[in-house]
Amino acid sequence: MLTVVTPATTTRLTTIAAARDHLMVGDDVSDILLGDWIDQASASIVEFCGRPFARESVRETFRGVCGYAIMLSRFPVVGTPAVVMDGTTLAASDLEWDAEAGLLYRLRGLDRFAWGCRVAAVTYTAGWLLPGQEGRDLPANIEQACLTMIAARYGARGRDPMLRSESTEGVGSASWIATADMGALPPQAADLLTRYVRVSGF
């Protein structure tokens, strides 16, 4: 079970100013419309990757923990996690963690050993600071994927959203997007996001 303790102040993976610069547009596209496109693209990226990116503090409860590693739902982890195991607060020196992978280990001296507890409650901060936030550290590829999606949306204005391609030579022809493909990301955006997709089981 995961509870958000301190929610993110924004989930936008790029800014209106960056989108405007990327599209090289003026006042013909409003800030409201760009904001809507950013929100939609950001949500699609989160869904595609199976993980949020905005930095938040959360509390996660694990039951019947027997293995050597607790797999946290959010990563990268920022700072030191706080762990209460079966009602006892563990010292930071009793913990080791892989911040990038979101894996948390229990130590006995210098060795890792199985958690072996009924309940472990972990409070931690994870995620990146997003564009527009001070100290922004979101990987550039994620923002670029968002901008790529916005550019595709901008380029498709006025077109039938179900139309994939058409030809006007001769009698003309058209191909249409299958319903199952409507939520797909542009291939260029998907390629940029490959390394950030949450692996099944993590």
Where residue 181 falls (left for φ over 0; alpha for ψ -120 to 50; beta otherwise) is alpha
Residue 200: which pLDDT band, with cuts at 50, 70 and 90?
low
202 is a domain residue: no
Whether residue 125 has pLDDT greater than 50: yes
Residue 38's domain spans which residues?
Answer: 2-53+129-196
159 is a domain residue: yes
pTM of the model as a whole: 0.83
Look at the chain and report how many structural domains it folds into: 2
156 with 117, same domain: the answer is no
63 with 113, same domain: the answer is yes
87 is a domain residue: yes
Residue 19: which pLDDT band, with cuts at 50, 70 and 90?
very high
164: exposed, middle or buried (C-beta count within 10 Å: 0-12, 13-18, 19+)? exposed
**Over the stretch 22-61, which tens digit does the pLDDT of each residue have?**
999 988 889 999 999 999 999 999 999 999 999 999 999 9
- Look at residue 157 in the predicted model and tell me its pLDDT: 76
DSSP assignments along 72-116, one per residue: -SS-SEEEEEEEEETTEEPPGGGEEEETTTTEEEEEETTEEE---
48 with 60, same domain: the answer is no
83 is a domain residue: yes
122 with 148, same domain: the answer is no
49 with 135, same domain: the answer is yes
6 is a domain residue: yes
**Over the stretch 136-189, which tens digit does the pLDDT of each residue have?**
999 999 999 999 999 999 988 755 444 455 555 555 554 444 433 435 789 999
- Look at residue 26 in the predicted model and tell me its pLDDT: 83
